[in-house]
Chains A and B, each alone.
Chain A
Amino acid sequence: MAAVIARDLWATSSNASFPGPEGAVSVPVWGYSPTPGQCQVPGPLLEAMQGDTLQVTLHNTLPEPVSLIWPGQAVRPVPVKDTNGRFVSFHRHALPGGTFIYTVNATRPGTFRYESGSNPAVQVQMGLSGPLIVRPAGFSPSDPAQRTAYGPDTGSDFDAELLLVLGEVDSRLHTAAASGSAVDLRAFAPDWWVVGGRAYPDTVAPDAPGGVQPLSSALTVQAGRRLLIRCINSGFQTHALYLGGLAGRVIAEDGYPLMSPTLDATYSRHTLTVAPGQSFDIILTSPDPGEFYLYDRELLHCVNGERFPGGMMTRLTFAV
Chain B
Amino acid sequence: MDLHLWAKAGFITTPDGNSIHVWGLTDQAGGPARVPAPLLILRQGEAVTVNLTNLLPEPVSLLFPGQQGVEALPEGGAWEPVRPQHEGGLLTSLAQAAPPGGSVSYRFTPQRPGTFLYESGSNPPVQVPMGLAGAVVIRPADYDPVSNRTAYGAGTGTEYDREYLLMTGEIDPDMHLAVQEGRPVDFAAYRPRYWTLNGRCAPDTMLPDDVAVLPSQPYGAMIMAEPGERVLIRYVGGSTANHPLHPHGNHARLVAVDGHLLRNGTADLSHKRFTVLVGAGQTYDSLFDWTGLGYTPSNPIPTVIPNVRNLAVGDAGWTMWSGTAYLGQKGDLPIGVVSYNEMGEYHFMLHSHEEPQLTNWGEFPGGLMTMLAIFPPGSLGPEVGRLGHGGGM
Contacts and interface: CB of A to CB of B under 8 A. Distances in A.
A and B touch in the complex (CB under 8 A): yes
Interface of A: 189, 191, 200-201, 238, 240, 242, 245, 247, 263-273, 288, 290-293, 297-300, 302-303, 305-306, 308-309, 313, 315
Max chain B Cβ within 10 angstroms of own Cβ: one of A265, A269, A292, A293: A269
B280 A240 contact: yes
Contacts of A306: 184-187
Contacts of B84: 291-293, 315
Where chain A touches its partner, the secondary structure class is: loop
28 contacts: A189-B188, A201-B89, A238-B242, A240-B242, A240-B279, A245-B63, A245-B64, A245-B67, A245-B82, A263-B267, A267-B264, A268-B260, A269-B257, A271-B279, A271-B281, A290-B83, A297-B281, A298-B280, A299-B280, A300-B240, A302-B124, A303-B187, A305-B187, A306-B185, A306-B187, A308-B123, A308-B125, A315-B91
A300 B125 contact: yes
Nearest to A310: B125
Interface in B194-240: 237, 240
Interface in B252-299: 257-260, 262, 264-265, 267, 269, 277, 279-282
Interface in B152-202: 184-188, 190
B260 A247 contact: yes
Given A191-B188, A266-B264, A309-B90, A290 B257 contact: no
Interface string B54-90: 0000000001111101100000000001111000011
Contact of B258 (A268, A298, A303, A308): A268
Contact of A269 (B69, B186, B282): B282
- Interface size band for B: 35 or more
Contacts of A240: 237, 242, 279-282
Contact of B66 (A201, A238, A245, A265): A245
B240 A298 contact: yes
B269 A299 contact: no
B269 A303 contact: no
A298 B279 CA distance: 9
A245 B185 contact: no
A272 B70 CA distance: 21
A269 B258 contact: yes
A306 to B, nearest CB: 4
Interface of B: 63-67, 69-70, 81-84, 89-92, 94, 123-126, 128-129, 184-188, 190, 237, 240-242, 257-260, 262, 264-265, 267, 269, 277, 279-282
Contact of A265 (B184, B187, B269, B277): B269
B185 A242 contact: no
Nearest to A289: B81
Nearest to A302: B125
B interface majority secondary structure: loop
Contacts of A267: 257, 260, 262, 264, 269
Contacts of B69: 288
Given A245-B65, A263-B267, A267-B257, A293 B91 contact: yes
Nearest to B63: A245
Contacts of B123: 308
B258 A271 contact: yes
Given A273-B280, A298-B280, 7 more contacts: A245-B70, A267-B260, A273-B242, A273-B282, A298-B241, A299-B124, A303-B187
Which residue, A266, A297, A306, has most C-beta atoms of chain B within 10 A?
Answer: A297
Contacts of B82: 245
A291 B83 contact: yes
Contacts, number: 110
Contacts of B190: 300
Nearest to B279: A273
Contacts of B281: 240, 242, 271, 297
Nearest to B183: A306
A309 B187 contact: no
Nearest to B262: A267
Contacts of B237: 240
B66 A308 contact: no
B280 A313 contact: no
A300 B126 CA distance: 8
Contacts of B67: 245
Given A269-B282, A293-B91, A308-B126, A300 B187 contact: yes
B264 A265 contact: yes
A201 B257 contact: no
A191 B188 CA distance: 7
A33 B371 CA distance: 55
Contacts of A299: 124-125, 128-129, 240, 280
Contact of B90 (A201, A273, A298): A201
A247 to B, nearest CB: 7
Contacts of A273: 242, 277, 279-280, 282
B258 A247 contact: yes
Contacts of A269: 257-258, 260, 282
B258 A270 contact: yes
Contacts of A264: 264-265, 267
Contacts of B91: 200-201, 293, 309, 313, 315
A267 B271 CA distance: 14
A303 B129 CA distance: 14
Contacts of B124: 299, 302, 308
B188 A271 contact: no
Contacts of B128: 299
Contacts of B280: 240, 271, 273, 297-299
A201 B90 CA distance: 7
Contacts of A201: 89-91
A303 B125 contact: yes
Contacts of B129: 299-300
Given A247-B260, A299-B280, A290 B81 contact: yes
A98 B91 CA distance: 46
A64 to B, nearest CB: 29
